[in-house]
Structure 1
Amino acid sequence: MAVDMDTAREWLTWSFSPTIGAMVFTLLLSLSLPILFHLFLYRQRAAVVVPSFVLLGPSGAGKTTLLTLRGTPTATHTSQAPQTVTCTLPTGITVESHKYRASDDPSTKKERQIEVTDTPGHGKLRQHAYDTITAAASLKGLIFVVDAAALSSPQGLSEAATYLHDTLLVLQKRHTGAKSSKGPAGIPVLIAANKLDLFTALPAQLVKKRLEDEITKIRSTRAKGLLDSAVDIEGDDEDREWLGEGGEGDFNFGQMKEAEIEVSVLGGNASAKGDEKTQVDAWWTWIAQQM
């Protein structure tokens, strides 16, 4: 032990001595420490989990078709279980966190990748989507795909609105049901109005209005059902079963901001045929803004 202490004192004395060797050693140490620190941070950055998004919506809305544009799903027919695909953002779409980074930065190429989980749209299989929402790591947003043409019919509108209502309710409960005083960060939702190339398709703003009006009816019907069943809905916010503010009156997506859920409605077309071009840049731009 005494020998080690003596050796340490000798090294310490030598390092402060005005010799060429000591000065060279100090210079190399001062130059190497920042490099080592940079490499450590770079490796930590490289280990960051890839941002994930959940793709959901009624069957036939075009979810899997959207994935085929930037990824390689295992099937294009009705899915029976969730499947996760790694996608790369299109060229020209800038990730929000990369706006002030050099365009030739090699690290940006890998960080343009995202994981998209396609969930079944069939009514009996939608629990898979809810489970994926609660279990997904690094979840950055939900993409709810609807067939803008199918919303013209009462049946298509009711199916899409019911699924969307239940999805938003899951997100709301996730936020208000937190044990801490501050709930988890809200998850943004994109309602992707697909198939706008069809003659019967509704424009994005009308899709928004139709869905809000239908959710108003669904919320009112369910609240009445709870009252008829003598269920107390005046309890704590954590236990509430209604969507949005108060559960009465007209519903609009702006009410979801109370649970830190930002809902956007953007139109597009992922099912181009022949010489037609897909129109999905607005959706990929929205995804990039969440990263």
Structure 2
Amino acid sequence: MAWHDQDSWLTWVFSPSISAIIVTALIALLLPVLIHTILYRTQAQASTASFLLLGPSGAGKTSLLTLLERGSTSATHTSQTPSSAEITLPSTIKSASNEYRSENDSSFSGAQRFILTDTPGHGKLRQFASDKLDAKTLKGIIFVVDAANLSKESGGRAEEGLTEAAEYLHDVLLALQKRYTSAKTSKGPKELPVLIAANKFDLFTALPEKLVKTELEKEITNVRNTKSKGLLDSGIGTSDDAVEEEKEWLGDGGEGKFEFRQMEEVNVFVDVIGGNVTGADGPGVGKWWEWIAKQI
């Protein structure tokens, strides 16, 4: 049957019949909705917010991942490889992008999900974390520390725990600083928030948030001074290497006391928030949930 025949589909489409009008109206109304749904879901799957879980071994990273994913903790062991999980925010907490969005919006649930990647804390396995710092979907870094193991005045294991945490955090912040200073555009990379999750607040020996911040800043200053001296002793620091020297020193050129607020100049914003993964006496993980929600 030719298209110009009286009974052809083209003749029917342009005819003034009720059925043709209804079909045309349905196509006009439903096609844009269908296209929007397909495009939105494809984009949402490709750009799901992601967070990196960092910190020294024994701080509670894997336990935190398990708790956020399943709502309960279980026995864990030292991680040897990265592990990721898709996590949904609790129904009582809205992400920043959902603040003014109706719960009846079909995209509401999608904006409540994020990917959390736990990385090994052992010194020889930390390259897994550094490889993921440039991910385009990265919305923030959660650096877990043991708040009951950070007092240098206590000596022994606590002093070692502070030094290990400060050295790792120093290297992470320096990598983020280089990410900014090495940018090829004047605008630089987007803001990247860092949460220092002071874990084990249910223990009596845990330091308060302000002291966690102070102790880490002091120890990072010591780490920076030690590394800077090593660079100078190795010959870096001559006029020809001035640019490289500046890139290797964290904060304000490696001088004076290091403070987390110095990182704001390179679009890195650091918050110290206490909580606890296990134990019923501490504040729990509520404030950490809220911090994550603000980033997505």
TM-score by length of 1: 0.84
Question: Could you say which residue in structure 1 is the equivalent of 2:218?
Answer: 213
Residues 105, 39 of structure 1: CA spacing in aligned structure 2 closer, same or farther, 3 A cutoff? same
> What's the offset of the Cα at 1:88?
1.4
Letter in 1 for 2:206: A
> What's the offset of the Cα at 1:75?
7.4
Letter in 2 for 1:80: Q
Question: Could you say which residue in structure 1 is the equivalent of 2:33?
Answer: 38
> What's the offset of the Cα at 1:131?
1.1
Q: Percent sequence identity over matched residues?
A: 51
Question: Could you say which residue in structure 2 is the equivalent of 1:133?
Answer: 133
| SS of equivalent to 1:240 | helix
CA distance in 2, matches of 1:99, 1:195: 30
Question: Could you say which residue in structure 2 is the equivalent of 1:246?
Answer: 253
> What's the offset of the Cα at 1:42?
2.3
> What's the offset of the Cα at 1:182?
2.7
- Residue 181 in 1 paired to residue 186 in 2? yes
* Structure 1 alignment gaps of length 5 or more: 5-10
Residues 139, 284 of structure 1: CA spacing in aligned structure 2 closer, same or farther, 3 A cutoff? same
CA distance in 2, matches of 1:238, 1:138: 30
Letter in 2 for 1:160: A
> What's the offset of the Cα at 1:167?
0.5
Aligned counterpart for 1:196 among listed residues 193, 198, 201? 201
Question: Could you say which residue in structure 2 is the equivalent of 1:226?
Answer: 231
Residues 91, 117 of structure 1: CA spacing in aligned structure 2 closer, same or farther, 3 A cutoff? same
CA distance in 2, matches of 1:290, 1:179: 25
Residues 281, 238 of structure 1: CA spacing in aligned structure 2 closer, same or farther, 3 A cutoff? farther
Residues 99, 214 of structure 1: CA spacing in aligned structure 2 closer, same or farther, 3 A cutoff? same
> What's the offset of the Cα at 1:105?
2.7
> Which range is displaced more, 125-134 or 206-215?
125-134
Q: CA RMSD in A?
A: 2.8
- Residue 83 in 1 paired to residue 90 in 2? no
CA distance in 1, matches of 2:253, 2:66: 41
* Structure 2 alignment gaps of length 5 or more: 4-9, 152-157
Task: Tell whether the 8 Å contact from 2:246 to 2:253 is kept in structure 1 after alignment.
Answer: no
> What's the offset of the Cα at 1:39?
2.6
- Residue 235 in 1 paired to residue 230 in 2? no
> What's the offset of the Cα at 1:180?
2.7
Letter in 2 for 1:255: Q
Letter in 1 for 2:125: L
Q: What is the aligned length?
A: 276
TM-score by length of 2: 0.83
> What's the offset of the Cα at 1:130?
0.8
> What's the offset of the Cα at 1:159?
0.6
CA distance in 2, matches of 1:25, 1:238: 74
Residues 117, 40 of structure 1: CA spacing in aligned structure 2 closer, same or farther, 3 A cutoff? same
Residues 246, 239 of structure 1: CA spacing in aligned structure 2 closer, same or farther, 3 A cutoff? closer
Letter in 1 for 2:175: V
Q: For 1:1-291, what aligned pairs fall within 5 Å after superposition?
A: 20=16, 32-33=27-28, 35-47=30-42, 48=44, 49=46, 50-71=48-69, 76-134=76-134, 136-152=135-151, 153-232=158-237, 235-236=242-243, 240-272=247-279, 276=281, 279-291=284-296
CA distance in 1, matches of 2:79, 2:32: 46
